[in-house]
Structure 1
């Protein structure tokens, strides 16, 4: 066993792992260290792991902290332990010209700690899973990413989230909100579908309808000049090639904020950005008192999203 307290070898559920540079500060403004990042993810494992299990993981790594260079990593690191499960996924149109990538699957606590030890502050996953022998399943989640254009904030996102919730309910879908951990928020609905393109098309139609009905508040197009003071409903997150920050993931902001599930009464009563800003310490307290508010996304009956869902008129 290592005797260096800053680079210990630890045993996690029967797997040996050398941790490194635990005293390294990754959030300088908050003095939050790599060791604290690892501790946070270990504490969140019971509620986080069910939401990333069987979902190919894209890591956003910050080896020198949030104020330094970062990079996304899809291909699992060459020095990954042999107990880290991987899955090969086709990546057509990859910016690096690669036809596939070998993604890590974070199935358990040892793998989660291993990713945190890589200074993977942010965990991003798709809205679909893979089977036990590989093979991509159809999406099981619908997601709307609400992005405020200045001077709009998460307060305006909450108003849009309430509109989306009502529209989704009209089509038979239950909505569950979470903060992005950054400026905005996301809305999820558990679904089933027989075509990976249907969620994207449905989300696009719904975003456009809300833009037509509430043009002073909502925009469905990415064009930056259209977004000032409004909330972009980013429906494109339902593209199978895209990922969204996972529930309970840290974000690379000046302070260690977290993408945290919300109760609808919190959304309704939000009147200031600080109302829905949660740090790593806040997240631990919330889970201790509220449990996993996203647990309904994990099981139960999932309504069918068809090609004609949401065609009103």
Structure 2
């Protein structure tokens, strides 16, 4: 017996199945073992407990008083375990673990999650920040959101749900009077996207003046806060700053131009979790409501 004074679980399961079903053969079928295996397990349980749990002819066994008491206790315990397991599985089926690029999560997705929760009160969305390539075999995410021109990885399904436009933004009081209105303004960059400004120049056809200073930050979220604080001009997707521009916190003197890298919703191929499908549909509908950017 274990430290709790309990006999082996296999013996308890065999006895509970026999007591509930009334026949060794039925218990054997339920447990996917032989009739003899059930009989041996029950006998080993009697030996371990020092109790007689069954009586009568071999083919018409019935429970003794001790057997009845133990069977009742086991049925309650196993039913409780079965209910808990079912509840846990149900809860897991209704949780969506989403891997998402951080700034989109902070500036666009999370503020809209109450709308999703109101429509799907039984689904919980858990968001983890990540910019790494999606690997569902290594990380236990249900879905991911990434920015890319194309998604063609093996074993995934991808839906482009939001077009991307990018452009320079800064605090209104920093606007200059030159051709781009960015003359003499410090340029803000991120360490992970050193080519972003050159890419924007290629997409927009605008040649920026030489920046007097360049200040680097770790994340684009920091760049946007620095721009709003008046530290310089940052480059950003439109969707991150639509609210700030509408509120006058930031301004975009050159507007926004299309970026071929779109926002993608990515799931493992063949995933059939209802919460994932519901979230994908909601995400596409919310993205369709996004305001059009001022164009450069």
Q: TM-score, normalised by structure 1?
A: 0.21
Higher helix share: 2
Q: Which has the larger radius of gyration?
A: 2
Q: TM-score, normalised by structure 2?
A: 0.22
